[in-house]
Amino acid sequence: MEKEVEGGGGGGSAIVPGLVFFGTPDFAVPSLRKLIESGADIRLVITQPDRASGRGRKIHQSPVKVLALQKGLPVYQPERVRGEEVIETIRSRGAQCAVVVAFGQILPQALLDIFPRGALNVHGSILPGLRGAAPVQRAIMAGEKKTGISIMLLDPGLDSGPVLSQAETAIGPEDTFGAVYSNLARQGAELLWSTLEGWGAGRISPLAQDDRLATYAPAIKKEELRINWHSPAKQIINQIRAFDPGPGAWFSLGGKRVKCFHAAPISWAAAGGGAGEVIGMADCGLIVAGGCGGSLCLGELQMEGMRRMSASEFTRGRPIPQGSLLE
C-alpha cells in the first residue's frame, strides 16, 4: 500500500533540482542508484569516512562511496557533519534539497537550514511507529506481520518530522532481517523517487506525525544477541530471524559462541525437557526446548572462527548429545 499526502496543486519542475545525498551502508545504495538512473542532479555525495573492519582490520570504503566513485560523483567524507567549515562546503554546492538514507549521523539544524526544499529521509518503518536506529530488527523481534517505508522531512527530533509518503510491506513468518532489509531498500528507492517528483511538482504536502502514537526502535545492544532459552520458543525464533545474517543470535557451547540461523517452531514427541535442553535431531536440524513448554528447530549453526553450516553437518564434527544443556 502506498499513500501520498496531496497538496494544493501547482506546477513547476517534476523534481527538485540540485541534490546532496547523505548515505553510507548497502541499504542506501538502491536509493542512490535510482537517483542516478533517473537523471537527478546530484551535486555531492556525503558518506562516513573509510573505516577499518574485518579480521585484518583493512580499510574499507562505504558501499555508497563505491557506487558514487563508479558513477563519477563527487564524494565528501567529514568525520562529523557539523561545524562552520563543513556546512559551508556543503552550502557551496547550491543544492535545493538533501536526501538522507541510513547516513549514520544526526544532521544538525544549521545544516538542515541550508536546503530550501528540506531534507528527505528514507526510514524503514511506518511512522510514527518504530522511530530510531533499528526499526527492521525491532519489528521482526516483536513478531510484526508488516512494516514499510516512510519518506519524511527531517527536523531536529528523532524521526519525528512530517511524512510525505508511505508504503507498507508484509513480513512473512520465516523472513529474516536480511530479506526484509533488502526488500525495504528496494522499496525505499522507488518510493523516494516518486516522492521527489511529487514534492518538486507541488503535489504533496507534509503530514505531521501524531506523537501520541510514537513507538521507538533503539539500537541493538550486544546483550540482546544472546539467547535466553527460558523465553518462549516463538520469541527465540523471532530473535534469531532478526539477527540473520548478522550479527547473529548466539548461545554458548563449551565456552565458545555458536550463532543460530533458520530457526522454526516444531512439535516434538520427546518435548518436555528443560529450557535449553537438546531434545534430538530432525530433518530440519537440532531440536531444543524453549520456555513455556515449546520447542524449536535450529537449521544452521556457526561456531566462532568457523563457517556457517547446516546443523547436521555441524553436529557430525562436534556432537551435541541429547540431554545437553545449551547456555
State how far the Cα of 322 lies from the Cα of 305, in Å rounded to an integer.
Answer: 25
Report the run of H or E that residue 122 belongs to, with start and end: strand 119-123
158 and 129 Cβ atoms separated by less than 8 Å: no
Give Cα 233 to chain centroid, integer Å: 24
pLDDT tens for each residue of 294-311? 899 999 999 998 999 999
At residue 23, does pLDDT exceed 70? yes
Q: What is the reported pTM?
A: 0.90
Instruction: Name the more confident of 36 and 8.
Output: 36
Query: Among 10-24, 52-66, 187-201, which range has the highest average pLDDT?
Result: 187-201
Can you give the pLDDT at residue 268?
64
Look at residues 9, 3, 92, 1 and name the one whose alpha carbon lies nearest to residue 46: 92
CA–CA separation, 37 vs 35, rounded Å? 6
Q: Above 60 in pLDDT, residue 216?
A: yes
For the chain, domain boundaries = 2-213, 222-317
Mean pLDDT value across residues 280-292: 90
Based on its alpha-carbon atoms, the radius of gyration of the chain, rounded to whole angstroms, reads 23
Angle at 248 between CA 244 and CA 250, to 5 degrees: 135
Confirm if 251 and 206 have CB atoms less than 8 A apart: no
Determine the Cα–Cα distance for residues 151 and 271; give it in Å rounded to an integer. 47
Name the pLDDT band for 5 (thresholds 50, 70, 90): very low
Confidence of residue 204 (pLDDT cuts 50, 70, 90): very high
- For the chain, percent of residues with pLDDT exceeding 90: 80
Q: How confident is the model at residue 156 (pLDDT cuts 50, 70, 90)?
A: confident
Residue 230 pLDDT greater than 80, yes or no: yes
Task: Decide if pLDDT at 271 tops 80.
Answer: no
CATH architecture of 222-317: Roll (3.10)
Residue whose cell numbers read 501520541: 212
- Report how far residue 15's alpha carbon sits from residue 198's, in angstroms, rounded to the nearest whole number: 7
Position 58 confidence tier, pLDDT thresholds 50, 70, 90 = confident
Question: pLDDT of 95-111, one tens digit each?
Answer: 999 999 999 899 999 99
pLDDT, position 272: 59
**Which residues fall within 8 angstroms of residue 253, CB to CB, at 6 or more apart?**
303, 318, 320, 326, 327
In 3D space, the residue among 273, 245, 250 whose CA is nearest the CA of residue 260 turns out to be 250
pLDDT grade for 171, boundaries at 50, 70 and 90 = very high
DSSP 84: H
Determine if residue 136 is left, alpha or beta; phi over 0 gives left, psi from -120 to 50 gives alpha, anything else beta: alpha
Give the CA-trace dihedral at 175, 180, 182, 185, to 10 degrees.
Answer: 170
Q: What is the pLDDT confidence band of residue 55, given thresholds at 50, 70 and 90?
A: low
Lowest mean pLDDT among 40-54, 59-73, 101-115, 227-241: 40-54
Q: Which helix (H) or strand (E) segment is 67 a member of?
A: helix 63-70
Mean pLDDT of 75-92: 95
pLDDT value of residue 202:
87
> In this structure, is the dihedral angle defined by the CA atoms of residues 90, 91, 97 and 100, taken in order, positive or negative?
positive
Give CATH for domain 2-213. 3.40.50.170
| Under 8 Å between Cβ of 188 and 101 | yes
Do 106 and 156 touch, CB atoms closer than 8 A?
no
**What is the pLDDT averaged over residues 241-266?**
94
